[in-house]
Chain A
């Protein structure tokens, strides 16, 4: 499976120019990239994004880019605005200013379900599963992304054999790690273009976190672009191509994960000068 990104800022889309090799989409459309963009167009880009809860502004102009096919880790202390940034990207929260670009297209204010069906897979903070549904029903919910249930089951159960025995179990009764696996199965099975991952490590044992990040690395190697938000886990730095540090509603530093590692402690301890 490949994280396939077609980005065309101009030209016709949807019905493509059709050179015969374009696969038929589930909805019958044929999509063929005709005018490839320069490689520098990021799959996800935020330009000067501001967002507020009521009258309280929490993002004061966030600039961030996730280059196609790469893993970007967004780090920062509690309250820096990481989760809000992710909410803006996934469409859960409309920005009040600035622009959200996905594959070069401005998607400000797009509904989260529209984005999800278009290939943005968001796994929210604290297990992205339905606790009162069975594992199988959880998998069934993933079919909204336009993939058949049999395909999803195959993908999920091949990668996580542990889930096979639990298919009729209510998801909320599984262990935290298993629940997070079930959530990750959505990414593996629906093969999106972009994955947004929030606090994967929350409340999980370090060993499980490491295992899960192994899966993230594998997903990344299949070409899916990933934006992952973390507060504490440094495990993420081993997976990320780019790391960004967020403080007080702004991205204050972007760079190679190794180079940023030493700045992290300073950021968490409240040094504004980085």
Chain B
């Protein structure tokens, strides 16, 4: 890596110069993290939305910079200026305008899902614009020139990074606390309407904050691009590292964020130099902890910081008027539905080609994994970004226990082990809510991805074979089997929803504060639902492995949990049918792009686009369909009572004239005042008798 090269220049074994080199590199990393994290903090403090897409935006910024500076050979400074001052702010303005404005009155889940959708969309979009086949490189600033400091050489590029980070810190401090636009950006978070009543323009403030956030993301992306190379994922995840720094500042404090960035940068680079090599007994078992842990330091730090973060107090006025809410399931509908689903699947298998049977089976498996989100996210309002990780645990268990003949005991163990790991994750994270819980699960997913799934001991040579029991060897039979498993789990989920556990979950989602006043212990409920969810995901993973007959780590990497959440929410995460719809939709993309190759790049971006569109219809497609069907049936049965006919909706009136010209204003001269006083000094009688 880069540090090794620098070490060589530093001249070998001199302890002090080694230490100095690592320190300088640590500070440079810290500076990049600080810039990226400050952008996150700015958007969060000024819009109340945690922008998951921050990294992806930084990645787009770096690519755009490459396009201008390298491809089109613009002067470096001009290219940087255009990206930071024109393109990135314009993109931020667009995000605010098109996506974020639609998010008022939606739940935190929806807000998070929308930015995740944006992340996913951008990650998928970048290779469409910039083909991954081309080799791209960005030179460091000043052509990588350096100077010597003692025995260590430092590039001017690194100096620029540090100076920029400091300038950003000072600049943001001044902007947010000393200028009116900055104060206004923070005021919007407190009360949008009060800003208006003060005469401010809140829309302008939030557009400005998104523009600023995007600029800072692009800045971080450009400054790191020479080191990380122009690679979509590594650039995007740079900012996931920055999450840890931002969380140290609890997403609001810039100085603490910088401190967090400094700790992260130094620890990361000292780990390169001073982490002991793997002990013998680990290498004997094909386990490599040193390298993997080093890569995972940012997510480990993120997890730890989340855990020791002080409690956020319960907010009583958290109950807002929400656009969200779906009807409770009924037994009649559920049983008829599941029966019809199994029959339909069995019928369909007769007509599908061999290849399509596998494709659609995969869709059903995805639906099963999405079903794991229904109790957790749909009922309980908690977000997990680690469902594919639990699925991975299930798949590995099935492979190791089930063996060649696919012993069904493996499925049972897959559920139990995934649930147990779920409990292990949930236990420390129990007091976290909303965005913090989502980040903790994300950190867990990355940890498993980098440290556990990458071990030879787990996935042997990069893939495990998973067996099926003899009676399921036929793909068509297996597809029906998946449908049956889905239905059984679905019935359990519906049963839970209609029982006391479902009520507790719903209460937890609606108002944690009210639950606390009722003496409801949410800790146990949360733990239970997390275990349930992880168990279902583990089951889904086992089925996934059995379907493909192999399991590879790439199936279960951290990123793959994002489309699962996106599509589940798009289908309707509060309903079992929503999970099914989401799974089928997600599974249909590869089928469609196979059939119509022209659409393939669009379909790659599709989960992102769907996620973004959720701001408009947060309840998902299944609810929309269900409501329509129910209304149609009710209408036919004449159930809609006439006295319940809603009164005619009247549109609010449009502005009549430009008010700026009203003329009620201040600052008249004394003569005018006298004149006006005469005009407005009302007769006592007129006042007493009131208006005409």
Indicate if the CB atoms of A113 and B196 lie closer than 8 Å. yes
Contact of A55 among B202, B649, B660 (CB under 8 A): B649
Q: A103 touching B662 by the CB < 8 A rule? A: yes
Do A22 and B672 touch (CB < 8 A)?
yes
Min CB–CB distance A45 → chain B (angstroms) = 7
Given contact pairs A105-B657, A116-B199, A141-B183, A124 touches B662 in the complex (Cβ within 8 A): no
Q: Is the CB of A96 within 8 A of B653?
A: yes
1/0 contact string of A97-122 vs chain B (CB within 8 Å) = 10000110111111111111111111
Chain A CB within 10 Å, residue with most, of B184, B199, B201, B647: B199
CB contact under 8 A between A113 and B646, given known A94-B653, A130-B194: no
Q: Report A-chain residues with C-beta under 8 Å of the C-beta of B660.
A: 114, 117-118
Complex contact A132–B190 (CB within 8 A): yes
Chain B hits for A114, CB < 8 A: 659-660
Assembly CA distance A241 to B670 (angstroms): 26
Shortest Cβ distance from residue A228 to the other chain B in the assembled complex, whole angstroms:
15
The answer to whether A54 touches B190 (Cβ under 8 A) is no
Structural contact, B657 and A106, CB atoms closer than 8 A? yes
Is A105 a contact partner of B662 (Cβ separation < 8 A)? Answer: yes
For B662, the chain A residues whose CB sits under 8 A away are: 13, 102-103, 105, 107, 118-119
B646 to chain A, nearest CB (A): 5
- Give Cα A40 to B691, complex, Å: 8
Judge whether B327 is part of the interface by a CB distance below 8 angstroms. no
A contact residues, total (Cβ < 8 Å): 95
- Known: A6-B663, A68-B682, A193-B664. Is A52-B677 also a contact (CB below 8 A)? no
Q: Decide if A194 is an interface residue (CB 8 Å cutoff).
A: yes
A238 in contact (CB, < 8 A): no
A42 to B656, CA, bound (A): 19
Assess whether A202 is interfacial by the CB under 8 Å rule.
no
Is B688 positioned at the interface, with any CB of A under 8 Å from its CB? yes
CB 8 Å contact bits of A187-198 with B (1 = contact, 0 = none) = 000111110000
Pair B196/A97 contact, Cβ less than 8 Å: no
Chain B 675-692 residues near chain A, CB threshold 8 A: 675-683, 686-692
- Chain B min CB distance to A172 (Å): 9
Q: Is the CB of A25 within 8 A of B665?
A: yes
Residue B409 lies at the interface, judged by CB distance under 8 Å to chain A? no
Contacting A at CB under 8 A, from B168-207, are 177, 180, 183-184, 186-187, 189-191, 193-202
A160 within 8 A of B: no
Q: Which single member of A5, A106, A145, A190 contacts B676 (CB below 8 Å)?
A: A5
0 or 1 for each of A141-152: is its CB under 8 Å from B? (1 = yes): 111111100000
A109 touches B654 (CB 8 A): yes
B470 interface residue per 8 A CB criterion: no
Q: How far apart sit A108 and B190, CA to CA, in the bound complex (Å)?
A: 27
- Asked whether A137 is an interface residue with its Cβ less than 8 Å from the other chain, the reply is yes
- Which residue of the partner chain, among A92, A132, A186, contacts B196 with CB atoms under 8 Å? A92
Q: Are A137 and B177 in contact (CB under 8 A)?
A: yes
A166 within 8 A of B: no
A109 touches B653 (CB 8 A): yes
Instruction: Find chain A residues with CB under 8 A from B638 CB.
Output: none
Chain B hits for A93, CB < 8 A? 652
Q: Taking the complex as formed, is B671 at the interface, i.e. its CB lies under 8 A from any CB of chain A?
A: yes
Query: Nearest chain B CB to A83's CB is how many angstroms away?
Result: 12
- Contacting A23 at CB < 8 Å: which of B650, B653, B667, B680? B667
By a CB distance below 8 angstroms, the chain B residues around A141 are: 180, 183-184, 187, 195, 198, 200
CB pair B197 A7 closer than 8 Å: no
Identify which of residues 43-57 in chain A touch chain B, using a CB-to-CB cut-off of 8 Å.
43, 45, 50, 52, 54-57
Closest Cβ of chain A: how far from B364's Cβ, in Å? 39
Chain B contact residue count (CB 8 A cutoff)? 62
Question: A175 within 8 Å of B by Cβ?
Answer: no
Docked Cα-Cα span, A52 to B646, in Å, equals: 13
Contact mask B628-669 → A, CB, 8 Å, 1/0? Answer: 000000000000000000111111111111011111111111
A119 close to B190 (CB less than 8 A): no
How far apart sit A36 and B186, CA to CA, in the bound complex (Å)?
A: 42
B673 at the binding interface (Cβ < 8 Å): yes
Instruction: State the CA gap A52–B660 with chains docked (Å).
Output: 26
Task: Give the CA-CA distance A52 to B679 in the complex, in Å.
Answer: 36
Is A2 part of the binding interface, using a Cβ–Cβ cutoff of 8 Å? yes
**CB within 8 Å of B: which A7-28 residues:** 7-8, 13-14, 21-26
Which positions 195-222 of chain B face chain A at CB distance < 8 Å? 195-202
Q: Among B177, B197, B688, B689, which residue has its beta carbon within 8 angstroms of that of A116? A: B197
Q: Is A31 in the interface zone, CB < 8 Å from B?
A: yes
Report A171-193 residues with CB < 8 Å from chain B CB.
186, 190-193
| Contact among B648, B659, B683, B691 with A42 in the assembled complex (CB-CB below 8 Å) | B691
Query: Is A270 part of the binding interface, using a Cβ–Cβ cutoff of 8 Å?
Result: no
In the bound complex, CA of A109 to CA of B658 (Å)? 10
> A37, A102, A109, A130: which has the most chain B beta carbons within 10 Å?
A130
Given A70-B682, A97-B650, A242-B690: A31 and B665 interface contact (C-beta under 8 Å): yes
Contacts known (A45-B691, A128-B197, A132-B190); A94 close to B663, Cβ less than 8 A: no
Measured CB to CB, the closest approach of chain A to B10, in angstroms, equals 47
Question: A133 in the interface, Cβ–Cβ < 8 Å?
Answer: yes
> Which residues of the other chain, A, contact B680 by a CB distance below 8 angstroms?
5, 39, 43, 68-69, 223
Interface core residue of B196, B197, B686 (most chain A CB under 10 Å): B197
Q: Which residues of the other chain, B, contact A39 by a CB distance below 8 angstroms?
A: 679-683, 686
Closest to A57 in B: B647
With A5-B680, A39-B679, A137-B177 known as contacts, the answer to whether A23 contacts B669 (CB < 8 A) is yes
Nearest residue in A to B673 (C-beta to C-beta)? A2
Contact B197 A140 (CB under 8 A): no
**Interchain residue pairs with CB less than 8 A apart (22):** A2-B676, A6-B668, A13-B661, A13-B663, A39-B679, A55-B648, A57-B647, A63-B691, A65-B692, A69-B680, A70-B682, A92-B193, A94-B652, A96-B650, A97-B650, A106-B657, A113-B195, A117-B199, A120-B664, A145-B199, A190-B666, A223-B677
Other than A39-B686, A97-B650, give 17 A-B pairs with Cβ distance below 8 A: A13-B662, A31-B663, A42-B691, A52-B650, A55-B646, A69-B680, A96-B652, A96-B653, A107-B662, A109-B653, A116-B198, A117-B199, A130-B190, A133-B183, A133-B186, A186-B198, A193-B665
Give residues in A with beta carbon < 8 Å to B: 2, 4-8, 13-14, 21-26, 31-33, 36-37, 39-40, 42-43, 45, 50, 52, 54-57, 63-65, 67-70, 90-97, 102-103, 105-124, 128-133, 137, 140-147, 186, 190-194, 223, 241-242, 244, 254-256
